[in-house]
Amino acid sequence: MSFKDRVAIISGGASGMGLLAAQNLCAEGAKVVLADVNKAAAEDAAASIRANGGDAFGVEVDVRDFGQVENAARMALEKHGSIDLLLNFAGGAEGRMLKCSAPFHEMPIEVIDWGLDVNLKGAVYFCRAVLGTMIKQKRGVIINLGSITGVEGGGNGAVNYSAAKSGLIGLTKSLALCGAPYGVRACCVSPGPVLTRAAMANMKTRLGRAAEPQEVVDLILYLCSDKAAFITGSNHLIDGGRSCGGMG
């Protein structure tokens, strides 16, 4: 799966699976823009990739701010002349990220707003910022990172997160419809538990384990590649069979 000279923007690219995807893409010849709310981490991650022979630069982006999102897209286009891939990794369960353990009906509205803004609107903003360029190029792939929670729902602490991640599936289908006449594809990847955090190991799956981050990134890279040229508009579960039900 060669990505030679493909230009990728990765939101949430300074850590976790976003960074791993960036490293993998650069190893296959891509030019990567790491967009992250943590400027220092984005710049450090990009420098590490360059030190290993890759082509990357970091840019500070709060995905809740369309101006910053648009600026990242503009920088990528000015520096490299195209935007071929968009990977929307930025996100996180708002209760955990903001240290709020309240049930949904007691959750502060600012926590709810943060979750919707980061997990759904951030992806919408980035898609809005790049789709016009991809349509003009008549090529491009957008990957939205969903979650098993967006498919099976979540309890009190995950109502908002589930709603946002479910929304990404609808966003993906709609983007696929908009982009299909121009050779632009969109896919959603919805992982179950992934070992980006130790606590994920406690979530049940039919296969009895959580996914390694590389397993999820491998699927994403396949969907980004020319090998997946006939795949668009679909949500791809990588959940160890959790969605089959009956997990208790």
Indicate which residues carry an active-site annotation. Answer: 161
Gap between the Cα atoms of 94 and 13, Å rounded: 19
- Biggest alpha carbon distance in the chain? 51
Q: What secondary structure letter does DSSP report for 233?
A: S
Structure tokens at 231: 């795949």
Contact 84, 4 (CB under 8 A): no
Contact 122, 94 (CB under 8 A): no
Who's near 190: CB < 8 A, 6+ residues apart? Answer: 145, 146, 147, 148, 150, 151, 165, 169, 235, 236, 237, 238, 239
Q: Is 215 exposed, middle or buried (0-12, 13-18, 19+ CB in 10 A)?
A: middle
Q: What is the 3-state secondary structure (H, E, C) of 109-156?
A: HHHHHHHHHHHHHHHHHHHHHHHHHHHHHCCEEEEEECCCHHHHCCCH
Q: How far is CA 221 from the centre of its chain?
A: 12
Q: The tokens 């890279």 sit on which residue? A: 221
